[in-house]
Amino acid sequence: MEKFGITKVQSLKISSIVILGQGLLAASANSLQSSREVEADQAARSIIGICPRMTSLLYNPDEFWPSEVELPLFEPEIEPHTGILPCMGAILISNLLTHSVSSLTAAHALFAFPDNAGAAFSENLTRIDINARLVRSLRRFPKIPVAKLRKVGIYNIDNLVDWELFQSNGYVLEFPRVEDLALGFADRVHGRSTVTSSVHDILFPAIRMLKVSGLAHSMMNFPAHFPPGSVTLLTLLDEPDVFLKAGYNILSCTQNLFVRSLETESTASGIELATALQRLFRQRLRLRNVAFEGVAYTLPKVINWVWLKWFQFTTHILSVKDIVKLLVQLPRLKTLVLKCQTMPLDDMGADASFDPNGANPVHASLQRFDIETQQYLDMTEIIELVSCLPAISEVGVSRDLVAAMDSCIKALLSKSHVLVREFSQV
């Protein structure tokens, strides 16, 4: 520790250890099992000796410091290392947990956990991350106390969550303080039985953030656990055709939706994906803030989300006519953030409701408009659109266009109050 500038006195104050990246799983890959066990045991004893007051032991497979503002990492491919030659990293983590699990307030069982009768979680546990397949492969796994839990992540779920892992009151399981719940579903392994549970009522009275991946593989009845409007923010990390496969029932739990689509080879055609998305926009949902990131979708032709105030979307080709048609369907919209590949070179303007002279405003309440294109941006059309937005106060464009857009808006439109700045998604 001293070579990193950390004194022994300072190390005694270390309470949290976060392991980053895949290096731990690759350590001693070519060594014999006996030497791995010796090395892992020595490393575990050293860590515990240096940090005797450790109360948090977490793991992030990515090589960056986890940030609360980023979408949390879902790692559906983490599998239990239970072969004849388990990796040193799994042995090390198992040894660390054997010595410290009863005192940890933040712990994980992602790729290793001590399979012995003595392991037990602390009643003060506030965070737990679980690999459901790993846990099912163990002979023993202690019940997880829920009284003080605030953050829970369960990954590699086969269709249904095994709620029996948690301490419950008979048929009722309540997570009184859990604010952040992440569920990662995976395609069920052939021959693996579906989880059954005697717990009937699962309650999350304090839930704020619900994050779900692999929704198409889930058999979970989300409306039963999360009543309408109970979730502050719903985040979906999934394949582009998730709504084609999974439907829309989960969306009733929230007014704020963030969808990040993964770049995968979908079995659905482009037409099928577009159709599924158009059906989504036709649902009469009381969403207030919605953001789509990742792959480019087709901009909705019909959208029934009349309560929407914030909308962020990525598409391929975007014309001012498309923007106008979108705006007139969203009367309460305050912020519109659009990204696209390009705008058409021969766009002839919008329909009759688009009046460059401002006599017939396109939208009465839009205050912020951000647009970014990778190729061509039609400055003339965008300026004419801004002229028909009487409440507009902010316009965001690519950095190289800020000066030109600012001078044009102030000179041609006499809107000196409008702030023109670099494009932003936040």
Strand 394-397 to strand 335-342: parallel, antiparallel, or no bridges (unpaired)?
unpaired
Quick one: which of 359, 350, 357 has its CA closest to 323? 350
- Read off the DSSP letter of residue 4: G
pLDDT value of residue 402:
96
One-letter amino acid of 354: F
pLDDT for residue 289: 97
Q: Which of 126, 134, 185 is nearest to 155 (CA)?
A: 185
Check residue 348 and give its pLDDT: 53
pLDDT of residue 149: 97
User: What pLDDT score was predicted for residue 245?
Assistant: 74
Distance CA 75, CA 106 (A): 19
Q: Which residues contact 309 (CB under 8 A, 6 or more apart)?
A: 288, 289, 332, 333, 334, 335
pLDDT of residue 197: 66
Mean pLDDT by 10 residues, the chain (426 residues): 57 73 63 66 76 77 46 40 53 80 88 78 93 88 95 92 90 94 83 64 95 90 93 88 80 93 64 81 93 85 95 93 96 97 72 54 95 93 94 95 93 85 93
Strand ranges inside 119-230, DSSP E: 127-131, 151-158, 172-174, 180-186, 201-203, 209-213
